[in-house]
């Protein structure tokens, strides 16, 4: 690392710029009809696989009641389903349906297109695009170490 780079300064700059990027992407209306809590629940199910409502609530740090309301809405729309836990028949696990997988994919694709559009049209040089491409896996690795 360059001796002139202070990790605290780098951390502050990264957090500030990433926060602005995420906030801007979230502010742009994207079709698909998923609210932020619904998208978060589906994303967690997509990452971790079948799980319980309580585990999902803990993972996203919301109350069981709030998660219950979100999951009820997703179930009514056919995006998730309840199944008996194969390890403990007294529990119920939640899984994504094909419609849920597609809804999440559509939402992600729309956001990806939004960012891709911002990267085109001369706003960034080819060299800057290369630097952003190299930074993406580094940001992912940073997230994994937090």
pLDDT digits over 90-123, tens only?
Answer: 889 999 999 999 998 988 888 888 899 999 978 8
pLDDT digits over 45-62, tens only?
Answer: 999 999 999 999 999 999
pLDDT confidence tier of residue 2, bands split at 50, 70 and 90: low
Helix residue ranges per DSSP H, the chain: 7-27, 36-48, 53-60, 64-76, 98-119, 126-144
Q: What is the DSSP string of 38-79?
A: HHHHHHHHHHH-SB-HHHHHHHHT--HHHHHHHHHHHHHTTS
Q: What is the residue-averaged pLDDT of the chain?
A: 90
Residue 35 sits at φ, ψ, to 5 deg, of -75, 165
């Amino acid at each position: 690392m360059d001796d002139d780079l202070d990790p605290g300064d780098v951390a502050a700059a990264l957090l500030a710029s990433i926060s602005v990027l995420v906030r801007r992407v979230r502010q742009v209306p994207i079709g698909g009809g998923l609210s932020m809590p619904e998208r978060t629940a589906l994303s967690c199910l997509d990452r971790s696989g079948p799980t319980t409502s309580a585990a999902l609530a803990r993972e996203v740090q919301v109350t069981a009641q709030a998660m219950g309301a979100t999951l009820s809405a997703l179930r009514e729309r056919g995006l998730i389903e309840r199944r008996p836990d194969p390890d403990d028949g007294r529990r119920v696990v939640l899984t994504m349906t094909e419609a849920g997988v597609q809804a999440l994919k559509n939402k992600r694709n729309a956001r990806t297109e939004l960012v891709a559009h911002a990267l085109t049209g001369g706003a960034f040089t080819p060299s800057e695009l290369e630097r952003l491409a190299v930074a993406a896996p580094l940001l992912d690795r940073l997230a994994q170490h937090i």
